[in-house]
Structure 1
């Protein structure tokens, strides 16, 4: 199968949640376990390079960069691709920064991009201030906002919570179930 065609059949698992809830840790660990690749959060890379004084144009760059990286990594993925965040998170951060506003194309792309399953990470582990994170007080609100959006759009998700060991076990079980269901559909 041609690489671009194969990438279209990759199972995409998006890890979403508020700041400092273990998304990056899980994405990397799951990718290693399933012998595949993961997409790092482009927003973090962008902020490390250009700073945190965000404009609407910055959010457009972050959204575009995230999509580009996902498509590039899907070419390298081994059946499953783990995405450390996705455009729903970018959309909500834009709404926070710009009083409810987000560029229309980000809304559109957010609804058009399809993921096989979402792992929604709960903010029930200690906050880690890494110098870029600054919204510790908004973690519960962000979690509930993401959960509400996933439910309203009827998107498949599993809440990942508890200790790091419990998170790992629950994430692993969820992904294995998703992969088994995909295999059953293929035959």
Structure 2
């Protein structure tokens, strides 16, 4: 079972995905973009988004086949980031988005989550606008997703309940 947490900056993806992974004693995969940007001193250009996407995909493909896998982000983040920042998306990112498959997506709403200052974050006042782009992209991709709102505890409980429900419908925790 592969679960992706996606959404605008500072919407709780990392904290929530870690907590849900810990709850299920699942494999957790951090957002590669953060590592990349830390190594580049926060500097990047349009072509760097492709590099991030390729590495993120390599990590996803190198995982074990069984069990629950929780991902702190997906390639839709790169698609939205590229669209929002550069008004264009490379064919590589489009292909990565088209070819990624998750059992379920959790879209983290910024509603109720205060902006946390971070030198790698850029859009404190556009989080609602970005959320709309995520909703549109997930609907366009025609995938199962849940928008998580409210406080951390509420979001965590909802995510856990949905993962348990999915697992039961598939006969237990599996791929």
TM-score band (shorter)? over 0.9
2:127 — aligned with what? 139
The two structures have a TM-score, normalised by structure 1, of 0.87
3-state SS, counterpart of residue 137 of structure 1: coil
Cα RMSD over matched residues? Answer: 1.5
1:6 — aligned with what? none
| Cα distance change, pair 22–78 in 1 and its aligned pair in 2 (3 A) | farther
Q: What per-residue deviation string (whole Å, max 9, x for no partner) do you get for residues 24-64 of structure 1?
A: 01111111111121110001111111133322221111101
Matches within 5 A, 1:20-169: 20-72=10-62, 74-75=63-64, 79-98=67-86, 100-124=87-111, 125-169=113-157
Q: Which runs of 5+ in 1 are unaligned?
A: 1-10
The structure, 1 or 2, with the larger RCO (C-alpha pairs under 8 Å, 6+ apart) is 2
> What CA distance in whole angstroms lies between the structure 2 residues aligned with 1:51 and 1:95?
22
Q: What per-residue deviation string (whole Å, max 9, x for no partner) do you get for residues 12-35 of structure 1?
A: 101001011111011111111111
The two structures have a TM-score, normalised by structure 2, of 0.92
* Contact 1:38–1:82 (Cα < 8 Å) also in 2: yes
Following superposition, the deviation at residue 94 of structure 1 comes to: 1.1
In terms of fraction of residues, the more helix-rich structure is 1
- How many residue pairs get aligned? The number is 172
Runs of 4+ that moved beyond 2 A:
none
Q: Which runs of 5+ in 2 are unaligned?
A: none
> What CA distance in whole angstroms lies between the structure 2 residues aligned with 1:181 and 1:136?
39
